[in-house]
Amino acid sequence: MPVAPLRPPLRIAVLISGGGSNLQALMDGCATGLIPGQIVLVISNRSDAFGLERAKKYQIPTRVIDHRLFSLRASFDQMVARALEEAGAELVCLAGFMRVLTSDFVQYYAGRLLNIHPALLPAFPGIHVQRQAIEAGVRFSGATVHFVVPEVDSGPIVIQAVVPVLADDTPDTLAARILRQEHRIYPLAVRWFAQGRLRLEEGRVRVMDGEEDDLGVLVNPMGEA
């Protein structure tokens, strides 16, 4: 019987700027085996990002690259790219990383750079998106994991989760509800990438060879308030 060759664990780097709860979900995903990969480096552009503490607890190497020390956006990005190369990163995950990357950087990592955004793209790109959703009066919002392209908060969508927007929501309550779904979908997207199941076809993502766990992808918006 032919035996499929074993893949070595995918080498993942995560870029953060803050709390790092998505980083936590990815670390947990690797630790439990959901993601056949290992996080080899966490980079933060802020030295006070709590995510750095989370990474240290898991003995994951961290780097702080303070964007304020670079007069040019491109020089900051080059420093980040150098750290990623040194770590041998094969996939780069933006997880609450609040810097816009240059198109040179994005093009270099095309097809191996993912981002999570707390809205149902292409609706509500940018910042303060939970406030935007409430002010627009939408009944549903959610989260999106997508491949990064030079245009901000755009690019082929891997997975989305839907959550209801309730009448008495504040940006904070909506953000918390969305964040809980982010923690479900980001590890799944990275799992699929690590399994080699994501195909880019005409600017759209196809997930190959569905499995049982894919059923969890459709979030029932009324299931959780």
- Residue 117 among the catalytic residues: yes
Q: Is residue 19 part of the contact set for ligand GAR (CB under 6 A)? A: yes
Site for ligand GAR in 70-109 (CB under 6 A): 95-96
Rounded distance between C-alpha atoms, residue 30 and residue 187, angstroms: 8
Q: Is residue 155 part of the contact set for ligand GAR (CB under 6 A)? A: no
Q: Is residue 169 part of the contact set for ligand GAR (CB under 6 A)? A: no
Q: Is residue 130 part of the contact set for ligand GAR (CB under 6 A)? A: no
Q: How far is the CB of 78 from ligand GAR (least distance, A)?
A: 22
Rounded distance between C-alpha atoms, residue 209 and residue 186, angstroms: 19
How big is the CA angle at 35 (ends 42 and 3), to the nearest 5 degrees? 130
Q: Select the residue interacting with ligand GAR from 182, 187, 188, 198 (CB under 6 A).
A: 182
Nearer to ligand GAR, 179 or 190 (CB): 179
55: left (phi over 0), alpha (psi -120 to 50) or beta: alpha
Rounded distance between C-alpha atoms, residue 146 and residue 81, angstroms: 20
The label of the residue with tokens 């009944």 reads 139
The token pair at 142 is 């959610």
Query: Which are the catalytic amino acids?
Result: 117
Q: Which residues bind ligand GAR (CB under 6 A)?
A: 16, 18-22, 51, 95-96, 116-118, 179, 182
